[in-house]
Chains A and B, each alone.
Chain A
């Protein structure tokens, strides 16, 4: 297989022989409860902007179950017992392979086969861990499930695998967060996420991605080559929401195969690039069933010398009668030296389908900033207000507590970026 070269990205190809494909945290330890987690790791999570203690205090009860994947190993899964009472399985995928082989065998690779693309093949060959989630028939998962990924060791890649299955009439909201410390060399992250929404099920999958983006001059940073795809059976719904601020290179297209009649796919995205970052991201909506519906809202923000590309495919199959798509892609330029690009592809084989595409590109308004300043709001805060306003439709899709974190992240990513 060959690495894909069609993306609007320029980078030095990773040396696949030089990567460590497995790294485990030095003091490997299993945790029975959140209290047992070392303060150091909690601190790490706080740095990620997620304070579990605070969330637990705020909500009165624990509302978020977390699986924490560091380097290649899942190190902590919380609230497993509580979820078990409802029949929900939420664990490391390495554990699921041993404990629930029937589910893993049935669904793993069913949406993203190992032959799908270069990076999916690489992931399929080398992944050692990741997260697994199964929601049984008719169960509405009462809390947010979330996974945190972190690349810690130098010279390692991370190749985690996520499999989420919502059985008939089930509902789950799933969030993943990513981070990596500052390193000079480029690190590779090649993950695969598969979502399966059976009849009338709904999966909401949110990502806050903050992998190390490299320094101002483009040295270091994570190469984020990720394949994410979900399949919707009859009247099922999959909603992808992503806030992408990190990585030197982002190459990802969370997609929906709308196989069942009346199924719904959604994609809400904010992608921020600053300095020398490059992002080529978007979605694919594959309409196969009748009366299938998809919505795409993409907001790109480019600052510094970065390039930000939206790439999307809407495919309407010949049996997809009355399929509908609405696409809106907006680009906001913060500087004269950054770029915004849009590559929308539409393939329609059914004349009863209805498709809409709206796109805008604008530069952040000096007038808007002046207006804020004149009211006493400083420039950083003004930019954050304007940008958050611009991204509101997407941020509104995130679970509340994470929306606040995402706003902060946008603020940090764009510090001092207007030129």
Chain B
């Protein structure tokens, strides 16, 4: 589904990613761990297409397409979803209105009719239940006045409604209490299937107790320096990252 080769990316001329390779197949969950400043969030931003990041070398193939040639919104419609570390507030725009606009943009891209209001409301109610998001949040302004945990739940909720093929979770566990963490993880586990894939960026092993990864990668100084299974995360928890430094 996703094949990243020798990826180099800069922010304001400063190299952050320095030859990253990563292959993700459908049905897999990949965890990306690593110390602060290693380039984890940069990877998420580059995949989403954020303009402040400049790709200087390498390639990203997504479902047979050159991802780097697609606009941000085209990537999203093709199935790239980024769950934001800090979800953005948009006052006056209701959660459902935003989501319906997004869903219909995707459906039109796929050659489908826009979804009517009735079907859409049935869909969002079902998905809200899945992430235990109170339906009162549906009509509230997007993320405005939401607590940290509610914002993160709302990201997973959007993910559930849009049903993307590649889900990138950028430190979704940061700022979550243990109950919210369980809810978010349960949502992800229900969403995972043989046709989609997850890239879970995290600092802590804790999230991986609930979302069990197929692969754990250590990102350090812009490169993946070690890959293992879920036990690698436990090892990192114990030893830290220093022992991996060359």
Contacts and interface: CB of A to CB of B under 8 A. Distances in A.
B91 A376 contact: no
Contacts of B105: 375-378, 381
A64 interface: no
Contact of A375 (B49, B91, B98): B98
A389 to B, nearest CB: 3
Nearest to B105: A376
B92 interface: yes
Interface string B54-80: 000000000000000001110111000
Interface stretch (A125-133, A154-162, A217-225, A366-374): A366-374
B76 A371 contact: no
Interface string B89-100: 011110001110
A400 to B, nearest CB: 16
B92 A391 contact: yes
Most buried by B among A367, A368, A372, A374: A374
Nearest to B82: A374
A371 B72 contact: no
B88 A389 contact: no
A375 B100 CA distance: 10
A26 B64 CA distance: 63
B63 to A, nearest CB: 15
Contacts of A390: 91-92
Contacts of A375: 76, 81, 98-99, 102, 105, 158, 162
A393 B109 CA distance: 32
Contacts of B49: 373-374
B106 interface: yes
A378 B90 contact: no
Nearest to B84: A371
Contacts of B99: 375
B101 interface: yes
A390 B142 CA distance: 12
Interface string B130-165: 000000000001100000000000000010001000
B93 A376 contact: no
Size band of the interface chain A makes with B: 20 to 34
A385 B90 contact: yes
A329 B102 CA distance: 30
Contacts of A377: 73, 98, 101-102, 105
Interface string B14-42: 00000000000000000000000000000
A374 B76 contact: yes
Nearest to B52: A366
A350 interface: no
B73 A386 contact: no
Contacts of B206: none
Interface string A88-101: 00000000000000
A389 B141 contact: yes
A107 B22 CA distance: 78
Given A370-B72, A377-B73, A389 B91 contact: yes
B48 interface: yes
Interface string A387-398: 011111100000
Given A378-B105, A381-B105, A373 B76 contact: yes
A365 interface: yes
Contact of A388 (B87, B93, B102, B162): B93
A365 B91 contact: no
Nearest to B97: A385
A376 B73 contact: yes
A373 B158 CA distance: 14
Contacts of B88: 365, 367-368, 370-371
A376 B106 contact: yes
B50 A376 contact: no
A386 B162 contact: no
Contacts of B93: 385-386, 388-389
Contacts of B90: 368, 371-372, 385-386, 389
A389 B90 CA distance: 7
B62 to A, nearest CB: 14
B77 A376 contact: yes
Contacts of B73: 373-374, 376-379
A320 B87 CA distance: 47
Contact of A385 (B75, B101, B106, B162): B101
Interface in A222-277: none
B141 A376 contact: no
Interface in A190-231: none
B72 A374 contact: yes
Most buried by A among B49, B51, B73: B73
Contacts of A367: 88
Nearest to A367: B88
A295 to B, nearest CB: 18
Given A370-B51, A370-B88, A376-B106, 4 more contacts: A385-B98, A388-B93, A389-B92, A390-B91
The 3 closest A-B pairs by CB, nearest first: A389-B92, A389-B93, A392-B92
22 contacts: A367-B88, A368-B88, A368-B90, A371-B84, A371-B90, A372-B98, A372-B102, A373-B76, A374-B81, A374-B82, A375-B76, A375-B99, A375-B105, A375-B162, A376-B102, A378-B73, A378-B105, A381-B101, A385-B90, A388-B93, A390-B92, A393-B92
Interface of A: 365, 367-368, 370-379, 381, 385-386, 388-393
